[in-house]
Structure 1
Amino acid sequence: MKFYCLCAMETVSLPESDLTSLPTVSVIVPIYNGEADLPELIQCLQAQRYPTDRVEYLLVDNGSRDRTSELLQSILHSLSLTQDNIRVRVLSETQIQSSYAARNCGIRATSSEILAFTDADCRPQPDWLLHLVQPFVQKVGQPEIDPEINLEIGVVAGEILPLSGNTLLERYADRHEILSQRHTLSHSFYSYGQTANLAVRRQALEQVGSFRPWLTTGGDADLCWRIQQTGSWQLQYAEQAIVQHRHRSTCRELRHQWMRYGRSNRYLHELYGVTLEQSLTAREVVYRLGRWLVKEIPLVCRQSLSQQNTSRLNASRLQTWIDSMLDTPIGLLCRYWRTVGQQQTKLPEMARHIEPLPVAAPARNL
């Protein structure tokens, strides 16, 4: 399935008349135990250049057990005392522990024309929302419909770039662009965007329903695929709509991430029949480790010795050397965890349920 790429300028500069005619947007952020991320997230939302009278931010607490709820109320109080006219609403989803159920809570609470999604541990850039919404309002030469609205675009995916990290595992993920939307956009079944940076036209949701609330992973692919399968909507990639996201920095976090990828593969296989990822076999492990020991390690050592005497090896070069030496073992671990996640899970019957979204009159003003 093809997707369409919008390569926008680094900074969006629109006439004042264009800014006032932009669609209404609700940015929905599910939060679970997000007290460490909330201060920076709010700063990023306050820095958005999208017209403040056209956007609201819905922060949905998904049953957090830390100080998230307290901090959210404190944020609301602080915003009420400042001159900042950013509109923030705090919602709560406690019945279902799932980020997709939390997003549905936000969807039900608004009638905005465009619904944008990001996560609490993401850092949207100031022009993020302008770039993300831009494909929905491109002029497409169809005056019989509406010269300002592109009704063929139902979903827009922005790009996800890493926040700077210094650990071995963060550097591994950065080299392999683990978080990039380019991987999901090239899926052989249909393109899809991750909900860390995604926008959906409300009309598309009214047609296919919201997220499957009982899913715990894979819901972003499921929603994008349902929308595209109607034949009425396209997905577009807005490369300059950027959020930054932290890579996993510990083995525990990395294991959880890749096992979740495996569970997602299984769920989507059961829902759509898509091919499962090839499982990692013992034979492949033996082959890859043998190649690593016999070929890759000697090659890295020779390259290091030829470039600079080891006694003068500085910290940066040593770090690069270590990264190269351990790239293959880390990659094998990730594939193993994905295989385990794929093999040890089954789609819960409740997760097949799609939450319908009643048709609502679009909100022209918030």
Structure 2
Amino acid sequence: MPPLSVSVVVNTCDRASVLEDALRGITALRYAPLEIVVVNGPSLDGTKAVLDRWAGRIKRRDCAERNLSVSRNIGIAAAAGDVVAFLDDDAVPHPDWLSRLLRHYDDPAVAAVGGFTIDNTGRIFQARKTLCDRFGRAFHVSDFFDERPLNRPGSPLYPSLLGTNSTFRRAALRAIGGFDHSFSYLLDETDVCLRLVDAGHRVVYEPTALVFHQFAPSHIRDERRIARTIYPSAVSKAYFVMRHGAPASVTRAAEALDEYRGELLASNLWHQTEQLILPEHRASLDQDLENGIAEGEDRARQRGAAPGGDLVEEAEAEPFRAAERLADRLCICLVSQGWPPRAEAGIARWTESLATGLAARGHQVHVVTRAETAETLRFTDGLWIHAVLPEAHGAEAMMLAHDLPPNIAAWTRRVWREVQAIKAFGLDLLSFPIWDLEGLACLDDPDIAVVMSLHTTYALARPHKPEWLARPLYDHFMVRRMIAAERRALLAAPTLLANSRAIVADIEDTYGIRLTRDRIALAPHGTADLLADAPAPRRRPGFRILFVGRYEPRKGFDLALAAAAAVLREEATVEFRFAGGEIDEEARAVMEATGTSALQDDPRVRFLGVLPRTDLEQAYREADVVLAPSRYESFGLVAIEAMAAGRPVVAVAAGGLAEVVSDGIDGRLVPDGPGAAEGIAVALLGLARDREGCERLAAGARRSFEEKYDMPRMLDVVEAAYRAAVAKRRIGQAA
């Protein structure tokens, strides 16, 4: 038999900020055939613009009121699938969600199947197996509880599904009349489950069918999950109790409503006592409660014994619209301890650009990064972000197996464990940077392809880190151990992703090894276009030079300071901006050593600190020249960001920078060595005094970006390298 077709219905209102992620999550489902139906309430935000972007890929319907049951019925009427699945607009399904739910429909008695739901932390269950009684009270039971015997008409307890993780046979929904419009919020799906059970159908749970409910504020609850109003839920509760509980016992129905009233009044008082709400807010909620209960009771009396569903079929049914599926989609995990905006270092920015670009091309992308406090898993902007903490438990074995320092072993252990969990999403490939060897424990994983990207290593950084060399014990137990581990990883990694030819040559020379070229994929970095839709730079007098980098010797901070002092002595109209670091004890020591402490008081010099990304991009656009005097860079991301803003670069001819910057075309290269500071000053003075020549280099910088370093080019090469790595692994498995 052909597989059942599924209509996934998303009911939304004023949730533009999260709706697109819900839709992206649905398109990542490993199930077909499916269609997507979106029912938009009276939204006032950007929801229409989101749906316009999805035109042709989804069915769109409108709901004129903020009533979830009305919206659900509109979705059912538009659905053409055998099964109707409901997903909230702030939720994302696991890729196997439908596959695991749909197998239960092999039993013709089953009319509804739901899974387990994980809350906004991505780590804690919001709902698992739940039973309800006929007074709308919920009871959470063991995951091993067998709910099937409760599926009998008239049962006092019955399985009740959570709306955001529920599926129903469309024929069964139509037979009971769909949803009851009196349930505008709360107990709507509970009412449907009860009516299905009473009609002789079965409602069952599938624990492995997961939905991640991320939570977004609404007209009902604010961002703290505190009620703005409880009127709709009070109406639903009273209506449910009087419709389903009162026929069996009016006395018990009254007791249930008194119990409900007492719980909510106590909750409102607690929120006021804890100063989470004002007295006026509490009074409003209390009044909502009384008014809602009265309205619910009145609606139940008016409804009487009439059937509970209000579904109205569409006059002309629209055919099933199958969602597009990408047959060659990869599931990719990228590892980077840093992640913007919290971290803006080169690897963090590169990983973010790569992740975002690959997700936009339809790949399922997971990012493992370091959490600030608690661990979380969230789906945002098309990316699964796994924020985790180093794990001391088990780190000893990692230390022994790979001879790693304790802190590195604790992080590597946690990365390894998270990668094992991500395999449940169908993981094809893991990519991690050589710095800190974050994915080292996965190098020999037989289930996935593994790529290690080449950046500055401990061995390449060590000559430019005087603070390391000044601490012999740290150098011995940390740095030299990491260098030895790096060498082993370089020899073992099945695929190496290099951002420049220079990094490959420098690694081979430094470690005394030969890297076979069939393991290397050369993928120069790309960056976003900083002139696309950007505000025009503000016109100003003078000549501005921008340094971007940490305030440390490896980034050439001392060279930049010395060159700045020399230039300012010669040209009064020149100004300097330093971005990317803080004036801390280390930076002050560099200033003292170079005799440039007076620059802090020079009005032509400003130390901007670590700038937010948008401010940094504007700083690039407002500069005349960007200074990149690093003593070692595996590539030189700052240089291509400058080029993306159409700004020439003055750089030291070391490492990858000598490969990225073309002297006389898009910038100036200064020989590395003792006279580097003087050479930088001469180059900067030359550009400040030759504005026409500077503009020619600026135009050349822009051409270099467009021809070599734009984002699509980088993504093309990296995507091809990842596909090749996956193919090689599959060939190896087959052999």
Band the TM-score falls in, shorter-chain normalisation: 0.5 to 0.7
Q: 1:354 aligns with which of 306, 309, 330?
A: 309
> Aligned letter for 1:60?
V
- CA 1:97–1:226: 2 relative to 1, 3 Å: same
2:89 alignment partner AA:
A
Distance 1:255 1:71, change over 3 A: same
Residue type of the alignment partner of 1:202: R
Report Cα offsets for 1:86-111 as digits up to 9, x if no partner: x42222122x3312111111211233
Partner of 2:46: 67
Question: What is the CA deviation profile of residues 86-143 of structure 1, one whole-angstrom value per residue up to 9, with x for unaligned ones?
Answer: x42222122x331211111121123321111111011111111111212112xxxxxx
Matched, 1:46 2:3: no
Contact 1:265 1:342 in 2 (8 A): no
Q: Partner of 2:636 in structure 1?
A: none
Contact kept? 2:67, 2:184, Cα under 8 Å: yes
Is 1:117 the counterpart of 2:86? The answer is yes
| Structure-1-length-normalised TM-score | 0.62
Aligned-residue Cα RMSD (Å) equals 4.1
Cα deviation for residue 340 of structure 1 reads: 7.1
Distance 2:77 2:313 in 1: 9
Q: Give a deviation string over 1:9-56, Cα, whole Å, max 9, x none.
A: xxxxxxxxxxx82101101110101101122112201110002xx110
SS at match of 1:26: strand
Equivalent residue for 2:35?
56
Aligned residue for 1:35?
A: 16
2:90 and 2:215 in contact (8 A); partners too: no
Query: Which residue does 1:234 correspond to in 2?
Result: 202
Task: State the match for 1:98 in structure 2.
Answer: 67
Task: Kindly tell me the number of residue pairs found equivalent between the two proteins.
Answer: 270
Higher Rg of the two aligned structures = 2
After superposition, where does 1:249-260 map in structure 2 within 5 Å?
Answer: 253-256=225-228
Q: CA 1:73–1:229 in 2, change beyond 3 Å: closer, same or farther?
A: same
Cα distance in 1, alignment partners of residues 193 and 284 from structure 2 = 26
Supply the distance in 2 between the matched residues of 1:235 and 1:349 (Cα, whole angstroms).
Answer: 27
2:129 maps to which of 163, 170, 182 = 182
Give the letter aligned to residue 18 of structure 2: D
CA-CA distance at 1:342 after TM superposition: 5.1
The alpha-carbon deviation at position 205 of structure 1 amounts to 1.6
User: Are residue 272 (structure 1) and residue 232 (structure 2) matched?
Assistant: no
Name stretches of at least 5 consecutive residues in structure 2 with no aligned partner.
133-137, 140-155, 247-252, 276-282, 323-735
One-letter amino acid of the counterpart of residue 55, structure 1:
L
Q: For 2:188, which of 214, 219, 227 is the aligned residue?
A: 219
What does residue 135 of structure 1 align with?
Answer: 104
Quote the offset at 1:161 in angstroms.
0.7
| Residue aligning to 2:167 | 199
Q: State whether residues 210 and 354 of structure 1, in contact with CA within 8 Å, keep that contact through their aligned partners in structure 2.
A: yes
CA contact under 8 A between 1:23 and 1:114: conserved in structure 2? yes
Distance (whole Å) between structure 1 residues aligned to residue 35 and residue 91 of structure 2: 17
In structure 2, the partner of 1:145 is: none
User: 1:124–1:244: 8 Å Cα contact kept in structure 2?
Assistant: yes
Distance 2:102 2:229 in 1: 29
**1:311-330 → structure 2 map (5 Å cutoff):** none
Instruction: Find the partner of 2:58 among 73, 79, 88.
Output: 88
Say which SS state the counterpart of residue 196 (structure 1) adopts: helix
Q: One-letter code of the match for 1:70?
A: A
Query: In structure 2, what is the Cα distance between the partners aligned to 1:66 and 1:34?
Result: 8
Report if the CA contact (8 A) 1:262-1:340 is conserved.
Answer: no
1:281: Cα distance to partner? 5.2
1:327-351 deviations in Å (ceiling 9; x for gaps): x979xxxxx9998765441226399
- TM-score normalised per structure 2: 0.33
CA distance in 2 between partners of 1:104 and 1:40 (Å): 23
Would the aligned equivalents of 1:41 and 1:120 in 2 still touch at CA under 8 Å? yes
CA contact (8 A) 1:262 1:339 kept: no
Instruction: Tell me the percent identity.
Output: 22
2:121 is aligned, of 160, 164, 167, to 164
* CA offset digits 1:201-253 (Å, max 9, x no partner): 1221232111113421221111111111012x110001111111135785763
Q: Does 1:24 align with 2:5?
A: yes
Distance between the aligned counterparts of 2:212 and 2:77, measured in 1? 27
SS of the residue corresponding to residue 207 of structure 2 reads: strand
How far apart, CA to CA, are the structure 2 residues paired with 1:329 and 1:182? 32
Whole-angstrom CA distance in 2 between matches of 1:192 and 1:227 = 10
Deviation digits for residues 175-198 of structure 1 (CA, Å, limit 9, x no counterpart): xx5x31434566554321121111
